Chain A
Amino acid sequence: MTVRLPAETTPERRVWLSVLAKAPTKDVIAAWDSLSDRPVYTTLRSPEIGMVLVRGRMGGSGDAFNLGEMTVTRAAVRLETGETGVGYVSGRDRRHAEIAAAVDAMMQSPHLRPDVEGAVVARLARGQQERRDTAARKAAATKVDFFTMVRTRGPA
C-alpha cells in the first residue's frame, strides 16, 4: 500500500499532515463537519489504535534511547478519483484519524483541494499558531528581568 508521490509534493504534504495530527480532535471534527460537501471514499485501513515508541536523545542531542510509548491512531482511505490519503494522529480518536486521511487525499486532488485547504488545513493551522503564540506570550511574561543594585559611594 505504498503511496508514491512526486518528490515536490512531499514537503507540502508533510506540512498538512502535521497540521492535521497536531490539531485538537474537537477542532478537526468541527472543521470537517463545517464542509458543505464531503467526498465519497472507501476505507483502505479502518482506523486502528496502536502505539509508537518515542525516542529521546541521550544528553538532549546524542544517540537515541527509548523514552516511552504514545498512543497513535492510523487510517487510510481512497477517493473515487483514486487519491489515497493517510492519517497518523496521536491519541485514540478513530474519527480524527479517518478525517485526517480523507483530508490528506482531498489535498492531493487538484479538484477537491480548494474545498479543504482553507476550511480545514489553514483553519487548523491558524488555531495552532494562535495557541502557540499565546503560550509564548505567557512564557515571555514570566521572564526574569534582572537588575543589579548599583553600589554608590557616600558623599565624598
Chain B
Amino acid sequence: MAYVAVKGGERAITNAHRWLAEDRRGDPAVPEIEVDQIREQLSLSIDRVMSEGSCYDRDLAALAVKQARGDLPEAIFLTRAYRTTLPRFGASLPLETGQMAVRRRVSAAFKDIPGGQVLGPTFDYTHRLLDFTLAANGETPVEGALEAEEPQAYPMATIASVFAHEDLLEPDHRTEDAPPPFDLTREPMAFPAGRDQRLQALARGDEGFLLSLAYSSQRGWGSTHPLCAEIRLGEVAVEFVPDELGFAIEIGELSLTECQMISTGAGGVDAAPQFTRGYGLTFGHCERKAMSMAIVDRALRDAAAGEASAPVQDEEFVLYHSDNVEASGFVQHLKLPHYVDFQADLQLIRRLRHEYAERQAAMKEAAE
C-alpha cells in the first residue's frame, strides 16, 4: 500500500518542482538576477552561507542563494551537500589572524588600543532609516569610499599583545606537537567536548541560535558579563603544504571576522585574577555571528570548569542543537508522509477512547 502512495506522488512532485522553478524566476518582465550580482551586491548573504555552509567559495554561495530563492538556511544546506562531493586535499596551516590586512578593527573595551579604532564598512551608526534612493529607477548615485593619504599600517597589535606584559589577559596555549584538532565532519560529536570541537561546531552553527544563546547569557542565564575587547574584519592568507612540494605555500586569501570577548575572572588558589576570554571566528563578514560565538565559547568554558547552570553553559544542549542543517532536517521531516505513524496513533486513540467510555459507563452504572 505504502509503495502505491509513493508512485502516485511522482507526477505531482515533478509538477511542483516546475512551479517552484517558475516562482524562483518571478515576473519574467523583470530581468533575471545574475549569480555575479548576488555575489557582489548581497555579499553578507554570501558570507553567512559560506560560514554556516562551512565552505569558502563566494561563487558557490551565490549560486546557492539564487537556487534557494534567498532562503539562507536552504542555501546553507545546498552548500553542505555540494562539499560532500569534493575530495579533501588536506588541512591548512592554522591561520595567523594577527597578520590580517585589517579593513575594520574596533575595541569597545579599550579606547586607546594601538593602531586606533578603524570603523571600516559598517552598519554601525547608520540611522536605520530606509534609503529610498536605492529603490529609485536608474542608477543610484554612489559616492566612492574616501582614501586617506597614509594607508593603515599592518599588522595591527592585538588586544592580547597589548596587555601581555602585565599578564592581565589569559594567554593562548600553544602545545608542542599537538595532535590534529577534532574534526566534526569525520568524527561523531563526543562529550565532554574539547574547545577545538566546540569552536568548530560554533563556527558552523546557526547565527540565530547562537545570537539568542549569547543574549540569554547577557540577560543573566549563565551570565558572562562580556566586554568586546576586539572585533576585526580583513584578509588573511591561507598556507598549505602540498605533498609534492613538501613546503608551505599560500593558496589564497580569505576574508574573516574575528571577535575577542573578555570577562573578569576571579582566579583561584593557584591562579591570579585575570580577564578570561571567548573567541569567535567566521568566514566573511559575519559580525553578529562572531560576537555571539565568542560569548557562547566563553560560557561553555565555564561548563568545562564545572560551573554550568544555564542552557548556554550546557555543551550537549548547545552543540547538539546549533547546526541548522540538522535542526531543520529533523523539524521539517515532519511534513513528509507519516501516514503509518498516524494510522497507529489513530488506532491507539480510538482504543483508549473506547476504554475510557467503558470506564465512564461502569462508573455511571455503579453510581446509580
Contacts and interface: CB of A to CB of B under 8 A. Distances in A.
Counting chain A CB atoms within 10 Å of each CB, the highest count among B153, B242, B248, B283 belongs to B242
Contact of B245 (A22, A58, A86): A86
Interface stretch (B17-25, B129-137, B249-257, B302-310): B249-257
Contact of B253 (A55, A90, A146): A90
Contact of B174 (A1, A61, A89): A61
Given A54-B95, A70-B254, A89-B252, A60 B86 contact: no
B251 A136 contact: no
Contacts of A68: 50-51, 54-56, 203-204, 283
Nearest to B260: A60
Contacts of A50: 86-89
A66 B183 contact: yes
Contacts of A74: 89, 242
A118 interface: no
A64 B181 contact: yes
B209 to A, nearest CB: 17
Contacts of B50: 68
B181 A55 contact: yes
B275 to A, nearest CB: 12
A61 B145 CA distance: 32
Interface string A125-156: 00000001111111111111010000000000
Interface residues of B, number: 86
B117 to A, nearest CB: 4
B260 A64 contact: no
B101 A14 contact: no
A140 B151 CA distance: 6
B152 A136 contact: yes
Counting chain A CB atoms within 10 Å of each CB, the highest count among B87, B90, B153, B199 belongs to B199
B69 interface: no
B183 A71 contact: no
Contact of A76 (B153, B182, B237, B244): B244
A17 B244 contact: no
Nearest to B119: A142
A140 B89 contact: no
B59 A14 contact: no
Interface of B: 50-51, 54-57, 59-60, 83, 86-98, 101-104, 111, 116-121, 145-154, 158, 160, 172-175, 178, 180-185, 195-197, 199-200, 203-204, 235, 237-238, 240, 242-254, 258, 260, 277, 279, 281, 283
